[in-house]
A and B are shown apart, each in its own frame.
Chain A
Amino acid sequence: MKKGRLILTVLLMTMAAALSGCTGGKTADTPDTRITIGIPQDLDDGLDPHKVSAAGTKEILFNIYEGLVKYDETGALIPAVASDYKVSEDGLTYTFTLRDGVKFHDGSNVTAEDVIYSIERCSKAEGGQDPLVPPFTNISEVNKVDDKTIEIKLVAADPDFLAYMTVAIIQASNDDPETKVIGTGPYKFVSHTPMESVELEAFNDYWGEKAHIGKVTLKIVSDPAAIVMDLKGGSLDMFCRLTDSQVSELKGSNFNIEVGTMNLAQALYLNNSVEPFNDVRVRQAICYAIDPQEIMDFVSGGEGTEIGSAAFPSFSKYYDPALNDNYNRDVEKAKELLKEAGYENGFSFSITVPSAYTPHVKTAEVISEELKEVGITADLKLVEWDSWLSDTYTNHNYEATVIGIDLNPVTARNLLQRYTSDGHGNFMEFSSEKYDEVFAKAVASTDDAEQTALYKECLQILSDEAASAYIQDLPSFVALNNKISGYKFYPIYAQDFASLYYIDEAND
């Protein structure tokens, strides 16, 4: 069975390579083409690829740094700095062969030492702190076979381990990655003016398909109202994650709207340790009271995909649309459950929402309207992102909150470990022995099919025990100047600027 898996991945890789090759028809662009892309927040948590945590920063570093392997838009892992790799029978040894001709932005060649340095930098725990990439504790040793090959030995087999190999490869000689931003990606880092803009430039000696647009300026636009005006005004060519009202504003302007998914699970996350949410019947009543479709109609004009449990659609391996019908809107059933739980005449609670995210705020507004029909009054508490991060997310003092949880790296284990009783980031305070038991079995199993089934069973439990009231994977609207094309949606937080190109009248 294992051999089969191996062939499958290899096949995939060759197909991807072929595919990327033949989008054809694009001439090598002249270096002076430029594009200005708006971003809502500054890269204010630094530029060191191994330490960065904000999704907005990772999205952009995707263009500058590459790992041994990298994701493509389908979510498959394709070879990057490594030309190919072999996994040993027992899944404990991974051997990577370095691709020849891969250069750093400063022109120097990528050496085995660089790769080893990068991996060890993430797995070493300096001074009692956790390693930069926690799962790397599973690595027993990394050794250089020859100038072209690296061997990594694991403590225990882990089918998801390959996903962690997307970690950025930096130069061994780079003592301060915070300021010396040198990677192997299609774009070079030029400059960063805090609170203002970030400049990138196409890297001409890129090993793969070169970027089409010469200069990329990332401009910070922090006021939602200004975004639409700036796009129409012509000072911005592209902006991601617009709301549907902003999209309706852009009708008739020189912008195409690309629609994809945000790859996150938006839900009304309930604090299971708090009265009355510790009672599963109350949680189920809430699931019955909420109608995801109505929320999607209000929040994003009907766009977006409903989810029944923690997995979002682009995580196709585990996403099961059937779970969506686990709780279809049924006010009578909700009231019945509430009566059973002893809350006939309802109760009231507060939904804490980070004020900066309009979609989550509007979702909460719709929820509070829907819950009224069941006799539950929910009032909103808007807080700043930082208060939400420390009060709600880290210290768990909240009753309910509306937020979207994304994944990096995109692995089932990373998605579901959050719900285990002692899981890292279990701000929902969800704990069920059955769930812990099934999750442990899933992690331990080495057979892919068995593991997938077990993970799916976890998702089923989450839905049955109504850990949270799952709603949707928010639509992702991207406005793109109609002179530019080639935008690709990725399942992870990544903005691939390299694939963008100007549709020159000449080469059509």
Chain B
Amino acid sequence: MAEDIIVKGTDVTVSFMNKVGNRKEKKTVLDGLDFDVRRGEILGLAGESGSGKSTLAKAVLGMVPLERGKIESEVTNPQMIFQDPYSSLNPAKTISWIMQEPLKLGKKKYSSEERLSKVEEMLCEVGLDAGYMQRKPGELSGGQRQRICIGTALMQAPGLLIADEPVSALDVTIQAQVLDLMREIHRKKKLTILFISHDLRTMYNFCDRVMILQKGKIVESGKPYDLYRDPKEPYTRLLLESAGII
């Protein structure tokens, strides 16, 4: 792979059998996809529900078997943050336990003091403070929880962070703050981010590149400015119009 591309997918196809009544039906979710993720970029992946964007994320993480094609990735420990803040943090554990977990599991061994100081440090980085250590996910707001998720994901200094609709469940003002945080982290740590969303407006200011996905196929991709100014594919134009951008 070219040295600046860290993940390359060629002819990626994923399908699964779903039982309708007693007949087994093959449903293709990703259909011969070619894509690449470059080091240090924020790549946007736009598409409506059923377009296969989450499945693509899982494919990149190697959690879904490919029917055809292959994905080469030099990233050793990719991490992911999710849309629903309520199910993305273990409700039975305290924040400090949750954030120490990646340190316990990582290859580098840390003593408990080192772990606590790293957690405190990360909490500040994501705009919270040590006071949150002993609290439980149930006691926090959606925005605070998403910040904890980001902090936890960064604990193992991942080569790639996949964000699956991280802000769409939050209030508009909170969304802006969380996106700012992610942009700052991207800048400071040169972190490559795969940003999955259905909201083209948010992606315009956030992503370096945007790929439009429809029914498992990449319709179009490019810089947001070029893409939004003269969309070549009718589907892209439809999305932009529905979002009131053009």
In their complex, do chains A and B touch, with some C-beta pair under 8 Å?
no
